[in-house]
């Protein structure tokens, strides 16, 4: 039997938020967290208009509403994916870094040129 997709039953907003946190953790200026394999995220992007830039990707602001939602952060922490100090910072834990949200290509839009 193949592994279950979304084994922690994250809702769509939680999946989008985790995808964005994973993308932030992959940026060159990401800093290691205190725990082994974790990444400390201290600056969240601010949308301008209906989008924002995340490295070489463009993200629609509508896909990032969870970045400013404390309930989403609490749920991700409860499921062992992040450690939060909302709204100042989040630490993406190894389980959060490895979780396959299946949304990377859907919400991180990259130019093809």
Q: C-alpha angle with apex 29: 36 to 39, nearest 5 degrees?
A: 20
**Assigned domain for 2 exists:** no
User: What are the per-10-residue average pLDDT scores of the chain (113 residues)?
Assistant: 82 97 93 95 86 92 94 98 92 97 93 60
The tally of domains found in the chain comes to 1
pLDDT at 1: 57
**Assigned domain for 113 exists:** no
CATH number of the domain to which 21 belongs: 1.10.10
Tell which phi-psi region holds residue 87, choosing left (phi > 0), alpha (psi between -120 and 50) or beta.
Answer: alpha
**pTM, full prediction:** 0.92
**Assigned domain for 78 exists:** yes
**Assigned domain for 58 exists:** yes
Q: Which domain holds residue 22?
A: 12-104
């Amino acid at each position: 039997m193949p592994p279950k997709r979304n084994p922690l039953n994250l809702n769509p907003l939680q999946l989008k938020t985790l995808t964005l946190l994973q993308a932030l953790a992959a940026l060159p200026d990401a800093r290691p967290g205190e725990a082994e394999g974790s990444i400390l995220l201290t600056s969240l992007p601010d949308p301008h208009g209906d989008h924002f830039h995340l490295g070489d990707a463009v993200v629609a602001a509508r896909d990032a509403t969870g970045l400013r939602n404390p309930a989403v952060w609490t749920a991700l922490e409860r499921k062992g994916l992040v450690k939060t100090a909302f709204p100042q910072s989040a630490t993406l834990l190894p389980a959060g870094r490895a979780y396959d949200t299946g949304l990377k290509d859907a919400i991180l839009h990259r130019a093809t040129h």
